[in-house]
Amino acid sequence: MRYDDSPPQPETAPAPGADRRRFARRSALAVAAAVIAPTTLAGWVLVQVGTGAGADDARPPRIAAPAAMGTGTPTATPTSTASPTATASASSSPSTGPSASGGPAPSPGATSPLAGKTVVIDPGHNTGNFDHSREINQQVDIGTARKECDTTGTTTRAGYKEADFTLDVSRRLRTLLEGRGLKVVFTHEADRAWGPCITERARIGNEANADAVVSVHADGVSEGSRGYHVILPAKVKGGAADTAAIVGPSRTLGERIAANFARATGSGPANYLGGGTGLVVRDDLGGLNLSTRPKVFVECGNMRDSKDAALLTSPQWRQKAAQGIADGIVGFLGG
Ligand SMILES: [Zn+2]
């Protein structure tokens, strides 16, 4: 998102012509949706893409949230992960290993469906970006386009930086995931002067063979725009970008995270995009276009809205946010 709050915009400025495409898409899809929407998921997806970036004036603003989430995502199986770990571990191969020889019980991780799995967490932006405009403005190739290496991110009106928020939530998330036996890799930890570039953020997830990748953000749009949304990769192909293999699993991951985020935080889905579902599909984010692993962005709230900012600046709320994201990831990975 932009540092200034002038025109309400998505995370990064859309490419020239994006608005035109959006309107063209919306009108075409209005027809398509009327035909398809009542029955199929495909219809729902089309509706989602068509309405994702527009203002959602037709939707009631930010109604009591977690319930709305469930009705808005037909395929979601909102699994609070509070449940099935006992059955999962009980079902995995008890006949081999140390227990057969009377040795010590295997470690919990050894029989968990989460064992051996890797999650890459990408804390959005970097506080150092504010002092490295030249470096972060260099153009990089995201396959389908060229765009800036990285962006500063936004701040609350009181000056709390998105990059500090994303790193704090990411660290809380890491603690929770490691507590479940998952291996966690960060794209950076403010241990570098700026960046990394979006291309490198994607590469880190790919080279880690991550089972899930989550990029943590908060949005920077106008006062009154509130709530969370999860950004899913569109199907794109061009240059190094080919998301065909990750579109499906990334949607599943995103739906899990959205449902659990709503439950854990009590926040509603964004009232300014996503048609009240808390899910948005985008084709312009390098971090998604270049990913070969299931990946989503989580926009936890709007830093430029005073009510959302009060949540985002609360350590207790950030813990809830991390818990919701963690539960979504763990559910996605079968834990
Ligand atoms: Zn951001």
CA–CA dist 177, 327 (Å, integer): 9
Which residue out of 11, 162, 255, 299 is catalytically annotated?
A: 299
CA–CA dist 256, 260 (Å, integer): 6
Neighbouring CB atoms inside 10 A of 276's CB total 24
- pLDDT at position 112 is 87
Ligand 1 centroid distance, CA of 3 (Å)? 10
For ligand 1, a single-atom ion, which residues have Cβ within 5 Å? 1, 124, 153, 217
CB 140 within 8 A of CB 198: yes
Ligand 1 centroid distance, CA of 101 (Å)? 52
What's the pLDDT tens digit per position in 169-206? 999 999 999 999 999 999 999 999 999 999 999 999 99
What is the pLDDT averaged over residues 148-168? 98
E strand or H helix at 217, and its extent? strand 212-219
What's the pLDDT tens digit per position in 207-239? 999 999 999 999 999 999 999 999 999 999 999
Which domains are assigned to the chain? 114-332 (3.40.630.40)
Residue 44 has pLDDT above 60, yes or no: no
Residue with tokens 């994303």: 166
Dihedral of CA atoms 263, 267, 270, 272 in degrees, nearest 10, equals 160
Neighbouring CB atoms inside 10 A of 55's CB total 12
Residue 121 has pLDDT above 80, yes or no: yes
DSSP three-state, residue 184: strand
Residue 15 has pLDDT above 80, yes or no: no
CA–CA dist 263, 285 (Å, integer): 27
What is the pLDDT averaged over residues 318-328? 98
Ligand 1 centroid distance, CA of 45 (Å)? 24
- pLDDT at position 69 is 38
Ligand 1 centroid distance, CA of 201 (Å)? 13
Ligand 1 centroid distance, CA of 42 (Å)? 29
Partners of 214 in beta bridges: 121, 296
Dihedral of CA atoms 10, 14, 17, 20 in degrees, nearest 10, equals -20
Q: Is there a catalytic annotation at residue 11? A: no
Q: How confident is the model at residue 1 (pLDDT cuts 50, 70, 90)?
A: low
CA–CA dist 250, 245 (Å, integer): 9
| Arithmetic mean of pLDDT over the chain | 78
Ligand 1 centroid distance, CA of 317 (Å)? 18
- pLDDT at position 111 is 74
Ligand 1 centroid distance, CA of 87 (Å)? 38
Q: pTM of the entire structure?
A: 0.71
What's the pLDDT tens digit per position in 50-79? 333 332 233 333 323 333 333 333 333 333
Q: Cα dihedral sign for 209, 214, 216, 218?
A: positive
